[in-house]
Amino acid sequence: MEPGMTDLLEDIRAMVECESPSADLTAVARSAEVVARVGAGHLGAEPERIVLDGHTHLRWRTGGGPARVLLLGHHDTVWPLGSLRTRPCTVEGGVLRGPGCFDMKSGLAMAFHAAAGLAGVTVLVTGDEELGSPSSRELVEREARGAAAALVLEASAEGGALKTERKGVSLYEIRVTGRAAHAGLEPERGVNATLELAHQALAVSAIADPAAGTTVTPTRASAGTTTNTVPAHGTCTVDVRVRTAAEQARVDRAMRALVPVLPGADVEVTGGPNRPPLEASSSAALLERLRLLSARLGLGDPGAVAVGGASDGNFTAGVGTPTLDGLGAVGGGAHADHEHVLIDHLPGRTRLLRALLQDLLAPAGEPAVSGGALP
Instruction: Compute, in degrees rounded to 10, the torsion defined by CA atoms 348, 354, 359, 362.
Output: -150
Question: Active-site residue numbers?
Answer: 76, 129
More confident residue, 267 or 363: 267
For 314-325, what is the mean pLDDT?
Answer: 97
* pLDDT surpassing 90 at residue 3: no
Mean pLDDT of 39-66: 95
Phi, psi of 319 (to 5 degrees): -95, 10
Whether 92 has a pLDDT exceeding 70, the answer reads yes
Beta strands in 178-280 (DSSP E): 181-182, 215-223, 229-230, 233-242, 266-275
- Taken in order of first residue, the domains within the chain and their CATH numbers are 5-166+277-361 (3.40.630.10), 168-275 (3.30.70.360)
Q: Which of 255, 254, 223 is nearest to 236 (CA)?
A: 223
Residue 363 has what pLDDT? 84
In 65-128, the DSSP E strands lie at 69-74, 90-92, 95-97, 121-126
Q: What is the mean pLDDT of the chain?
A: 95
269, pLDDT greater than 80: yes
pLDDT one-digit tens code per residue, 196-250: 999 999 999 999 999 999 999 999 999 999 999 999 999 999 999 999 999 999 9
- For residue 2, name the pLDDT band (cuts at 50, 70, 90): low
Q: Say yes or no to pLDDT of 286 above 70.
A: yes
Query: Does the pLDDT at position 367 exceed 90?
Result: no
Give the per-residue pLDDT at 375. 54
CA distance 184 to 182: 6
Determine the Cα–Cα distance for residues 65 and 273; give it in Å rounded to an integer: 35
- Quote the CA–CA distance of 351 and 3 in Å, as a whole number: 12
Return the SS3 of 366.
coil
Phi and psi at residue 199, in whole multiples of 5°?
-60, -45
Q: Residue 374 pLDDT > 60, yes or no?
A: no
Q: What's the pLDDT band for 366 if we cut at 50, 70, 90?
A: low
Quick check: 371 pLDDT over 80? no
Q: What are the tens digits of pLDDT across the range 54-67? A: 999 999 999 977 88
| Averaged pLDDT for residues 264-268 | 98
Percent of the chain whose pLDDT exceeds 90? 93
| pLDDT score recorded for residue 65 | 77
DSSP label of 244: S
Sign of the dihedral defined by the CA atoms of residues 331, 111, 285, 211, in that order: positive
Cα(292)–Cα(308) distance, integer angstroms: 27
pTM for the full model? 0.89
3-state secondary structure of 174: strand
pLDDT cut 70: percent of the chain above it: 96
What is the average pLDDT across 37-57? 98
1 pLDDT higher than 90: no
- Predicted confidence at residue 120, as pLDDT, reads 97
Once rounded to an integer, what is the mean pLDDT over residues 77-90? 97
- Rounded to whole angstroms, how far apart are CA atoms 101 and 342? 10
Q: Flag whether pLDDT at 341 surpasses 70.
A: yes
Selection from 1, 136, 130 nearest residue 59 by Cα: 136
Region 111-136 average pLDDT: 97
pLDDT at 328 (0 to 100): 98
Residue 309 pLDDT class (50, 70, 90 cuts): confident
